[in-house]
Structure 1
Amino acid sequence: MTTSSADPQIAAALKQISAEKIRANIEKLASFQTRSTLSAQDQASIAAGHGIGAARKWIKSEFERYSRDCGGRLEVKTDSFTEQPADRIPKPTEITNVYAVLKGTDPENAKRVVLVTGHYDSRNSDTLDTTGVAPGANDDASGTAVSLECARVLSRLKFPATIIFLTVAGEEQGLNGSHHFAQMAKSEGWNIEAVLNNDIVGGDRNSQQDPSVVRVFSEGVPSAATDTELKLIRNLGGESDSPSRQIARYVGEVGRTYVVGLKPTLVFRLDRYLRGGDHISFNQQGFAAVRFTEYREDYHHQHQNVRTENGIEYGDVPKFVNFDYVANVSRLNAATLASLASAPAPPDKVRLVTKELENDSTLTWEPSPGSRTDAYEVLWRATTSAEWEHTQPVGNVTKTTLPISKDNVIFAVRAVDKEGHRSLPVVPLPER
């Protein structure tokens, strides 16, 4: 498996991530009684600290506090819309996503975006219950806390590319908030290179939980692939080389470099059985996105009314959250965001020459946009291997030939800057 050297600035930033601050944020989010998307948003409820409106106001105030602490470089925004009645939306409902933008400092790279998200709405046993207690500590105050903590720590630093820290609503009603946000990003032509969705990353404190593992789910065949692209994927055996899967592999490499005590376990499917998450909304719009989820979920503590029944405690309350685990997941996310935002753009139009039968392999590409790239690397692995196995530096060129048969491996090319930051790898298309 491939590895990279650590950036001292990123390593130092990860030490600032605090399990105690994460605990405080999760407990605060759980204190609003319910964060159901359908719950109260009137001023009286907000003033009383009840409902999703109060939660939204608090999240926005936290982002604004982080912005003040970094001299105003973090721009806090909201994305509001009215969702019309549907299966889990009984009446027109205002849904608001809250996010903060850390603008890239390099004009050549500032339009490149990496994004981290979690959903701040919650539910209990009845997804239409607007008033019953629904603390949502793990699902998904934990993921919201990851976005907040990454924003708090990374906003103190400067990166060439832009980082967006997003919290969405409407997930439990049908991914409504993320669907609207992803559609907005596509319609406005945002260049989002990677989306990291954190949903149920609380490391539930049951006896069978493994606090050293976090699952990373990624789609194989892109959801937005055209018929022509699907035919090419089938012909070339590219079912495991979607852009989302490259993010998952990148997370694995970052984890080996920066995060001791937490192993990203790559799960090569879109999501768990019978479940879904906000990364799917981005996948459907053609963006590369992955999902982080704890190793073993306890369904007594998800989508349940808070109660004790037959000696079993039900409900998604903070006491079942492992805050040190959430801190490690935050470190993995922050390291991935910082690494991608520090790296040059990926190379463009990567091609594998297939003009004649030969045992060597020739790859060509166009230079990465911008001037940050210092060199390129070629990666390859056996067609049956999950992760990249070999790395070959090839210098600052746009063509290279390797004595390896293209029939036996999967290739990719990535850009590297002078400090060793690496872009996402790009798998070549055939060129005849």
Structure 2
Amino acid sequence: MSVVGVPGVAGAEPGRGGDSDRPPLAQRPSKELLRVLREIDQRRIEATVRKLVSFGTRHTLSSQDDPARGIGAARDWMFAEMSTYAADSGGRMTVELQSYIQEPDGERIPVPTRITNVVATLRGSVTPDRVYVITGHYDSRVSDVMNATDDAPGADDDASGVAVVMELARIMAKHEPEATIVFAPVAGEEQGLYGSAHMARLFKAAGTDVQGMFTNDIVGASTADDGTRDPRTIRLFAEGVPTAETPEEGNIRRAVGGENDSPARQLARFVREVADNDATGMRVRVIYRRDRYLRGGDHISFLEQDYPAARFTEPNEDFAHQHQDVRVEDGKQYGDLIQFCDFAFMTRVAKVNAATLWSLANAPGTPKNVGILTAALTNSTDLVWERGPEPDLAGYEVVWRETTDPEWTHAIPVGDVTSTTIDMSKDNVFFGVRAVDRAGLRSPVAFPTPRFS
């Protein structure tokens, strides 16, 4: 067990970064990540959105058999397209149609309905059992959520998110991430998050180690309802109190003040560190909520299974272009039409997602079983954790911040150990632990839980 100094004492590493709006512990993109970012093609993203819009409606209750119109046609096209990506992967990527029959729910599913996710799995080359998931939902709707016949273009909500997912699947199929990445256009979101809920339950039943999940939902426009534009910001919604928290975990959280340190919040801080930079051209604005008022997305399905998850959404929504019948009323155009999309913005959102996924999949995994020893009353802090399985693991860093700071501000290298003592009181600041590999890539932070013995 080592004793490490703190600010004003040898061993501390001050916060890094230039722009005051950038995260203090920002990580520089690797050369391979920069290559991945350069491969993102705005023309392909636009083509995907246009193709999805061309199916007329993609309502969950629309036709599953018509080859040109409805959700079935969209499903079959996405499966065929992503299968071509898998063909370029050297056997690393597989694509499947993940289906089940959803029975009537008395609300938005009136008859037994097949729900199908299109799932492309890119197996990791080093630690394949560690998994990261990215989704967008390919179903669409109009004003009446039960209207399965009228045109529901769904250009922004959510062909935009599906286009991001598919473009990253196309590019990353040609690369070899160390951990596994799952790229999944999901169905049934507008009717009740059904596709993502099915996927999350399957992962949980299989004991899959999903260490991060992101949904891209409404990421296609940069213009607000008042006409103002913000083409360089993407919101990331991340919950505080965990959805799946047990009563015992709630008692511990209240005792130590962990409301701002859920796994979802650590995931969001990581996104800021690796994707809020000049390489993506974007600012990631983390919103300390699970989702917007009266709204919900597919990340909630994963949060319910106790997986870290968060939602990307454009900075300012125009609600005349969501969940609306296509019409002109009082001279105003309503409907989720492709003419309101900003494809350059969408491409930068794809870069944020790529930087996030690539960094997660090639860095070490989030440390497990991180604890803070509380049996003895002292003014120092004892931390313990499990050593990760990565063959290129170099060691660990203890990070800390003032209790009023939103992001980690200081990192203290402690070496390839599984315990350390920090000469600083655990009562005054928040601590976390992250892993570092020999290339200098860092994992998301794990927030410690109290160990009473």
TM-score (norm 2): 0.92
Distance in structure 2 (CA, Å) of the matches to 1:399 and 1:258:
36
Note the 1:29-48 alignment, pairs <5 A.
29-42=52-65, 45-46=66-67
More moved, 251-260 vs 382-391: 251-260
Question: Residues 180-219 of structure 1: matches in 2 within 5 Å?
Answer: 180-206=198-224, 207-219=227-239
Query: How far has the Cα of 1:258 moved from its partner?
Result: 6.0
Does the residue aligned with 1:62 lie in a helix, a strand or coil? Answer: helix
Structure 2 counterpart of 1:27: 50
**Distance apart, 1:383 and its partner CA:** 1.1
What is the alpha-carbon distance in structure 2 between the residues aligned to residue 37 and residue 279 of structure 1? Answer: 19
Deviation of 1:163 (Å):
0.4
2:64 maps to amino acid: Q
Q: Which runs of 5+ in 2 are unaligned?
A: 1-23
Task: Say yes or no: does 1:18 pair with 2:41.
Answer: yes
**Distance (Å, rounded) in 1 between the aligned partners of 2:339 and 2:325:** 15
1:309 and 2:329 correspond: yes
Offset of residue 178 of structure 1: 0.7
1:218·1:268 contact (CA, 8 Å) conserved in 2? yes
Q: Cα deviations across residues 115-167 of structure 1 (Å, max 9, x unaligned)? A: 10000000011111111000000000001011101101111110111000011
Matched-pair contact (CA < 8 Å) for 2:222–2:315: no
Alignment of 1:110-189 (within 5 A): 110-189=128-207
* Aligned twin of 1:54: 73
Aligned match of 2:265: 245
| Conserved? CA contact 1:383–1:410, under 8 Å | yes
Inter-CA distance 319–88: structure 2 relative to 1 (3 Å threshold): same
Note if 1:3 corresponds to 2:26.
yes
SS in 1 for 2:243: coil
Other-structure match for 1:276? 296
For 1:346 and 1:266, locate their aligned partners in 2 and report how far apart those are by CA, in whole Å: 20
Q: What does the per-residue CA deviation read over 1:57-112, in whole Å, with 9 as the maximum and x for residues that have no partner?
A: 01111111111223332100111011111200111111100010000111xx1100
Instruction: Specify the SS of the correspondent of 1:282.
Output: helix
Letter in 1 for 2:378: E
Q: How far did 1:391 drift?
A: 1.1
Tell me how many residue pairs correspond in the alignment.
426
Q: Structure 2 counterpart of 1:240, which letter?
A: N
Rounded to whole Å, the distance in 1 between the matches of 2:451 and 2:189 is: 42
1:5/1:420 contact within 8 Å kept: no
Contact 2:165-2:183 within 8 A present in 1 as well: yes
What's the secondary structure of 1:358's corresponding residue?
coil
Letter paired with 2:38: K
Q: Which residue of 1 aligns with 2:16?
A: none
CA distance in structure 2 between the aligned counterparts of 1:96 and 1:348, rounded to whole angstroms:
33
From 418, 425, 436, give the equivalent of 1:405: 425
Counterpart amino acid of residue 421 in structure 1? L
What is residue 74 of structure 1 aligned with on the other side? Answer: 93
Matched residue, 1:422: 442
Q: Do residues 360 (structure 1) and 380 (structure 2) align? A: yes
Distance 1:100 1:396 in 2: 35
Stretch deviating more after TM superposition (403-412 or 28-37): 403-412
1: CA distance, partners of 2:182 / 2:206: 15
Matched residue SS, 1:340: helix
Q: Is the 8 A contact 1:209 1:295 kept in 2?
A: no
Partner Cα distance (2:330, 2:182) in 1: 44
CA drift at 1:171: 0.3
Q: Is 1:65 matched up with 2:65?
A: no
Q: Which SS does the other structure have where 2:253 is aligned?
A: helix
Moved more, 71-80 or 335-344: 71-80
* SS of equivalent residue, structure 1 residue 334: helix
Judge conservation of contact 2:223–2:230 (CA < 8 Å) in 1. Answer: no
Identity %: 48
| 2-structure distance, mates of 1:39, 1:256 | 39
How much has 1:401 moved relative to structure 2? 2.1
Judged with a 3 Å threshold, the aligned counterparts in structure 2 of structure 1 residues 138 and 276 are, in CA distance, closer, same or farther, namely same
SS in 2 for 1:110: strand
Report the TM-score, using the length of structure 1 for normalisation.
0.96
1:391-428 CA-to-partner distances (Å, cap 9, x unmatched) read 11111122222222211111110111111111121111
Q: Measure, in 1, the Cα distance between the counterparts of 2:389 and 2:89.
A: 29
The match for 1:235 is 255
Letter matched to residue 158 of structure 1:
E
Please report the RMSD computed on the Cα atoms of aligned residues, expressed in angstroms.
1.2
Contact 1:11/1:258 (CA < 8 Å) preserved in 2? no
Give, as a single letter, the amino acid of the residue that structure 2 aligns with 1:32: F
Q: Distance in 1 between matches of 2:91 and 2:367?
A: 33
- The letter for the 2-side match of 1:154 is M
> Structure 1, residues 172-230: CA drift from partner, whole Å, max 9, x if none?
00111111111111111111000011000012444223111111001111111111111
1:68 is aligned with what amino acid? Answer: A
- Correspondence 1:279-358 to 2 at 5 A: 279-358=299-378
Counterpart contact for 1:204–1:298, Cα < 8 Å: no
